[in-house]
Amino acid sequence: MNSLRRLLQSNSREIRFFLGFVVLFVILQSAHYFTRSYTAPFLVDTMTTRAGSALINIITPGEKTVVRDGAIIGGATVEIMRGCEGIEGMLLLIAAVLAFPARTHLKVYGIAGGILFIYAFNLARIAGLYYTVRYKPALFDMMHIYVGQTVIIIVSLIFFIFWLSRIDRIAQNSRQ
């Protein structure tokens, strides 16, 4: 029992971070769940579907994709739905940054930079899914369900680690 108590005490900072992260993530997911009917038209239709179509048209102008009824239509059709906007990865990152003990301005930079980073990767994922349907439709389910979603989570983790390393460098420079 004493060894467990010592273990908990020696790792109290990490335990507080983890519990704070879990609580914040549940709160953010709940808020997203209850507001998504209001936010989906902007996040899904404008920020994901229209931006994804624009990206495809920049990469391959010959595709001439258009957006119609929540889908990117060109040489292939990809329907963009709620959940395709990468919000879960963003919420993971936001919860982690908020739970980590750091100064407020560093958290703001971490959240803003992370959202932009994840958003860019998510648009690349949407374009990649379009090209998958266009050229290798048999791979779509694997690319959408397993690869695409996993990549967004990994990108969130990579950005969080990058942000932590920046905070560590800032702390070291301020001590000198």
Spatial contact of 36 and 107, defined as CB atoms under 8 Å apart? no
Average pLDDT over residues 89-115: 95
Helix axes 104-135 and 87-99, enclosed angle (nearest 10)? 160
For the stretch 44-89, pLDDT in tens is 888 999 999 999 999 999 999 999 998 999 999 999 988 888 999 9
66-68 and 77-79 strand pairing: unpaired
User: Of residues 14 and 171, which shows the higher confidence score?
Assistant: 14
The pLDDT of residue 2: 75
The pLDDT of residue 176: 63
Number of domains into which the chain is organized: 1
Spatial contact of 143 and 109, defined as CB atoms under 8 Å apart? no
Distance CA 72, CA 59 (A): 14
Closest CA to 76 of 89, 90, 58, 64: 64
The pLDDT of residue 175: 66
DSSP letter for 84, please: T
Of 5-19, 23-37, 44-58, 155-169, least confident by mean pLDDT is 5-19
Burial 89-110 (b: 16+ CB within 10 A, else e): bbbbbbbbbbbbebeeebbebb
Domain that holds residue 111: 2-175
- The Cα-based distances of 6 to 10, 17, 139, 148 in angstroms read 6, 18, 50, 41
The pLDDT of residue 89: 94
